[in-house]
């Protein structure tokens, strides 16, 4: 059975969605970048192996990335899943795991990379916002897009209400994207992801709906 390593920094709700999806994979370890990451407790409750690689224990990014790579390689995973892992990873690290490193980001990339995506989306007045699952490249919150889900933005939204709406979609598309990977259905052609067996539809998503 293929194996996954999940990297987290905080609450771990995406990790939990992955655990609950009953994926055809063994979770070899959950690695936290902070000893107090709440998601580590959830992982322990699921009787998963947990590790902490805390940046405060290392002199610089290169030393941190090397320690993280060592912890990952000890598990020999088929895929490394970043689930709210809030550390910028160096180029050498990312290139070492090219095509085996997946991330979820709370915006429709390439819009709003970085932090505070929901507040920024509200400030820009976008009508449609969402989330993206992508393969990781050295550029932050960038890389071949595997899946996206869109949600409407309502005038009364706050960053919190919008974040909650987007998070529900993260929990839906991230396990789906990992499942596609495990089924061997994903390939990268000319820097873009192809999903074998995907069906095209002509449906559109309008927000707001057309006025009558
Ligand atoms: C999620 O919204 C995820 O998309 C985001 O952090 C949150 C983690 O929540 N990740 C990023 O912003 C990465 N650039 P979780 O710990 O409950 O899964």
Residue 207 lies in a domain: no
Question: Counting every residue, how long is the chain?
Answer: 212
- Residues 120, 91 share a domain: no
Kindly report, residue by residue over 52-90, the tens digit of the pLDDT: 999 999 999 999 999 999 999 999 999 999 999 999 999
pLDDT at 14 over 70: yes
Full residue range of the structural domain in which residue 149 is found: 104-198
Q: Classify residue 211: in a domain, yes or no.
A: no
DSSP 56: G
- Given a contact cutoff of 8 angstroms between Cβ atoms, the answer to whether 167 and 185 are in contact is no
CA 21 centroid distance within chain: 15
Task: Name the nearest CA neighbour of 96 among 139, 133, 137.
Answer: 137
State whether residue 32 is helix, strand or coil: strand
Q: Are strands 79-82 and 3-8 parallel, antiparallel or unpaired?
A: parallel
Residue 1 shares a structural domain with residue 80:
yes
105 C-alpha vs ligand 1 centroid, how far in Å?
A: 6
Report how far ligand 1's centroid is from the alpha carbon of 210 (Å): 32
Both 90 and 126 in a single domain? Answer: no
Same domain, 42 and 108: no
Domains in the chain: how many in total?
2
Q: In the chain, what is the greatest distance between 2 CA atoms, to the nearest angstrom?
A: 61
Q: In terms of domains, do 131 and 165 share one?
A: yes
Average pLDDT for 97-102: 97
Say if CB 119 and CB 159 are below 8 A apart.
yes
Task: Spell out the residues 6+ positions from residue 174 whose beta carbon is closer than 8 angstroms to its own.
Answer: 14, 17, 18, 81, 83, 104, 133
Residue 96 neighbours by CB distance under 10 Å:
15
**pLDDT tens digits for range 169-210:** 999 999 999 999 999 999 999 999 999 999 888 888 888 887
pTM for the whole structure: 0.97
Nearest C-alpha to atom 8 of ligand 1 is from which residue?
A: 84
Nearest residue (CA) to ligand 1, atom 13: 105
Residue with tokens 């507040």: 119
143 Cβ inside 6 Å of ligand 1: no
Instruction: Give the integer Cα–Cα distance in Å for 128 and 118.
Output: 11
Closest CA to ligand 1's atom 3? 84
């Amino acid at each position: 059975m293929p194996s996954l390593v999940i990297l987290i920094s905080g609450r771990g709700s995406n990790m939990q969605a992955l655990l609950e999806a009953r994926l055809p994979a063994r979770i070899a370890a959950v690695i936290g970048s902070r000893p107090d990451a709440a998601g580590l407790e959830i992982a322990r409750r699921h009787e998963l192996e947990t590790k902490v690689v805390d940046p405060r224990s290392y002199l610089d990014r290169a030393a941190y990335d090397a320690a993280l790579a060592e912890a990952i390689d000890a598990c020999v995973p088929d895929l490394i899943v970043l689930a709210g892992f809030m550390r910028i990873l160096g180029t050498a690290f990312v290139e070492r795991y090219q095509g085996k490193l997946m991330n979820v980001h709370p915006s429709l990339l390439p819009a709003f990379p970085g932090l505070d995506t929901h507040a920024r989306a509200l400030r820009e007045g976008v009508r449609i916002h969402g989330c993206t699952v992508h393969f990781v490249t050295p550029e932050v919150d960038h890389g071949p897009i595997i899946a996206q889900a869109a949600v409407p933005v309502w005038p009364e939204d706050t960053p919190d209400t919008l974040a909650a709406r987007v998070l529900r979609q993260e929990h839906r598309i991230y396990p789906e994207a990992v499942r596609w990977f495990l089924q061997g259905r994903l390939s990268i052609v000319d820097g873009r992801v192809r999903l074998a067996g995907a069906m095209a539809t002509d449906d559109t998503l309008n927000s707001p709906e057309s006025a009558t």
